[in-house]
Structure 1
Amino acid sequence: MEHPSVLEVVRALEEEGFTIKYVDVTKEGQIDLKHLQSLMNDKVGLVTCMHVNNIMGQIQPITEIVDIVSAYPKAHLHVDAVQAVGKVPLIFDGVDTLSLSGHKFNGLKGQGVLFVRNRHEIIPVMQGGGQEYGLRSGTVNLPVDISIVKALKYAVQHTQSLNRQLNQYNEQIKAYIQNFPNVIINSPSAAAPHIINIGFPGVKGEVLVNAFSKHNVMLSTTSACSSKKSSLNEVLLAMGIPAIQIEGSIRISLGANTTDNDIETFKDKFKAVYEEVRELLK
């Protein structure tokens, strides 16, 4: 269920000799807490999970995960909160490290934030002048750093209001989509409000993206992983979604700049695209 930026690092560690264990997920895409508990022992050094999934939007039970992992002092809990910040309340209690990406909350691309509960547990990957408590040496880019701090403060301060607005849009879109036969909402009911994943079984995701693009609606396909390999998306596979449904899956993303007019426009364009592809649906 992890983003490639985490998953590929884990796979690289496995090649170096580390033992990697993958936690099962429920049909809703949430971590199976009983399975996580069964995998924990005194040899576990790291547990990592997403706060909000970037493909389906499911929210992981971070508090419950903390309760399990905290019973093992050697286990470090990392949370990838890139998709959560500004959209759902962040959970810090009991988390050892939490990572964010600036461009997800109106910061600049290439910016990142790592919250560290105990910096003495982190070994620097680069040496130098000792900036940032010696964890990331190098001359500080002050204007860039100030920009991400301001963006983060704004995002956190407006989380509740944006969450309410996006939930309204989310409910409107889902209610509308349910009027169209054979179109399936893949995202779980309790997912984060800014991500809606839907499936058109029998229609390729790329075809849908191109069809919507012609109507000036920009969506993304989840029929393959982000590196455009031919394999089906691992997130949807882990949830037991059929291959034909995965191949025809697209993601609708909402944000702080989404307006009422955008939602109405999307509804009109959705109906038009549906009429174009309905004969292909299975």
Structure 2
Amino acid sequence: MNSLYLDYCASTPLHPRAFQTLMDSSKLYYANPSSMHEMGFEASLRVEESREQIARLLQVKATEVIFTSGATESNNLAIIGVVRAWMKRTGRNPHIILSEIEHSSVYQCGKQLAKEGVEVSFLPVNRQGIVSPVSVKESLQANTILVSVMHVNNETGAVQPIAEIGELVKPMPHVLFHVDGVQGFGKLPVELDYIDLYTVSGHKIGGPKGIGLLIAKEHIEMDPLLYGGEQELGIRPGTTNVPAVLSLAEAIAAAFEEQQKKFKHLMALHDLVYSRLAGISELVMNSPQPPLSSPHILNFSYQGRGITSAMMIRMLAKQGIIVSSQSACSSKAKQSRVLMAMTQDEMISSSSIRLSFNETVTLEEAGYLVASVEQMVCQLKSKNKFDLLQKYQMNS
């Protein structure tokens, strides 16, 4: 039985162009790009060409592109780096604004900074999992220095109103706006004019693991998290992973070129699966429909006591379907923090399934997915009836 992989939010296969670039550059550019000899210079030149290419595509300056090990480091650098630089300069504790549904690499930064004396506001979301720009405006304080709201939620696909929030914050030069663009980049268009800090992850868009980037506009003051070298403008020391950088640049170029075609196909997949699953009375659809969500993510829960995400993941795996319930970084949690913020319902939060698609999934495979979910629901209904009967007989 061939597996039907539907966990593309967690990681994607290498795009063929990115794969070829990774293989070729691994053979050619193995010298340390910080070395002063000719081979080191050649490797450094290739890195800077990639930086320029990415900058042109994102319409930013090359000096604003910082290569990192991935989204977690980029998010930590954006939030903790900015906060610590401000505290060092002013000697005061700032205020920052995050949402309750941020990825753990943002959310846990807020929790850690709160322990260090930083004022942190975690904004609520509505039932569709969307932050209100009004709540951002009402949370602003005189000492607010940073707002961080993701573009697309990694569990539900809910699209956040980042343009509205960016326009709200833009007239306030002392307040920076960070956007975790990991799940939106390559899926939905985004303008970086109103964004000060923007995060991208390589392996979410067909690039290799262990590489990502942070767009940090020139006016931003930021402390490094690591020390020991002057790489990446002194912000991110360490030997540059040349093949990964070149492969990331190729994946980003492919994402821009193929975005419209992919979006059309993802919409067709989403429409088919959503319409069928929404008709199953035992399921609760946690994802809003486009345009309030990105079409590559669909999240639902089972309404029935004792039914968990882990149970359903195993049942679908027996049908050859690979799914998840949350972010891979939070996969050991029994309840979804995101769904609790949306619903305040423990049953919904502990029985969620996240389906995440990419352009290689066919409509035929989507039909098989729906049939498998329908079969799973029938089995779960039978299980619940059996459990109730057992309970009744024991009480009798």
Taking structure 1 as the reference length, what is the TM-score of the superposition?
0.93
Distance 1:120 1:10 in 2: 19
Q: Does 1:259 align with 2:362?
A: yes
Residue pair 2:125, 2:341 contacting (<8 A) in 1 also: yes
Partner of 1:201: 303
* Per-residue Cα deviation, 1:109-143 (whole angstroms, up to 9, x for no partner): 11111111126522233344422222223332221
How do 1:162-173 and structure 2 match up within 5 A? 162-173=262-273
Please state how far the C-alpha of 1:281 moved relative to its aligned partner. Answer: 6.3
Q: Greater shift after overlay, 220-229 or 145-154?
A: 220-229
Distance 2:111 2:343 in 1: 22
Aligned mate of 1:58, from 158, 166, 171: 158
* Per-residue Cα deviation, 1:173-207 (whole angstroms, up to 9, x for no partner): 01111332221211112211011001111121111
CA RMSD in angstroms comes to 2.1
Residue pair 2:273, 2:367 contacting (<8 A) in 1 also: no
Q: Rate the CA distance shift 1:94–1:205 in 2: closer, same or farther, 3 A.
A: same
Q: Which amino acid aligns with 1:200?
A: Y
Partner of 1:151: 251
Q: Rate the CA distance shift 1:280–1:243 in 2: closer, same or farther, 3 A.
A: farther
Q: Greater shift after overlay, 147-156 or 133-142?
A: 133-142
Partner of 1:216: 320
Distance 1:238 1:247 in 2: 13
Q: Per the alignment, in what secondary structure is the counterpart of residue 194 of structure 2?
A: coil
Taking structure 2 as the reference length, what is the TM-score of the superposition?
0.67
- In structure 1, stretches of 5+ residues that fail to align are none
Q: Per the alignment, in what secondary structure is the counterpart of residue 123 of structure 2?
A: coil
Q: Does 1:18 align with 2:93?
A: no
Residue pair 2:155, 2:327 contacting (<8 A) in 1 also: no
Aligned mate of 2:200, from 100, 114, 122: 100
Q: Per the alignment, in what secondary structure is the counterpart of residue 120 of structure 2?
A: coil
Distance 2:259 2:313 in 1: 29
Aligned mate of 2:373, from 246, 254, 270: 270
Aligned mate of 1:46, from 129, 146, 166: 146
Distance 1:107 1:223 in 2: 18
Which has the greater radius of gyration?
2
Residue pair 1:70, 1:94 contacting (<8 A) in 2 also: yes
Distance 1:37 1:178 in 2: 35
Distance 2:303 2:220 in 1: 50
Q: Percent identity, please.
A: 31
Q: How many residues align?
A: 281
* Larger helix share, 1 or 2: 2
Aligned mate of 1:140, from 240, 248, 273: 240
- In structure 2, stretches of 5+ residues that fail to align are 1-100, 386-396
Q: Per the alignment, in what secondary structure is the counterpart of residue 354 of structure 2?
A: strand
Q: Which amino acid aligns with 1:192?
A: S
Q: Greater relative contact order (Cα 8 A, min sep 6): structure 1 or 2?
A: 2
Q: Which amino acid aligns with 1:43?
A: N
Q: Rate the CA distance shift 1:214–1:172 in 2: closer, same or farther, 3 A.
A: same
Please state how far the C-alpha of 1:46 moved relative to its aligned partner. Answer: 1.1
Partner of 2:181: 81
Residue pair 1:69, 1:77 contacting (<8 A) in 2 also: yes
Q: Per the alignment, in what secondary structure is the counterpart of residue 215 of structure 1?
A: coil
Partner of 2:338: 235
Please state how far the C-alpha of 1:253 moved relative to its aligned partner. Answer: 0.9
Q: Per the alignment, in what secondary structure is the counterpart of residue 239 of structure 1?
A: helix
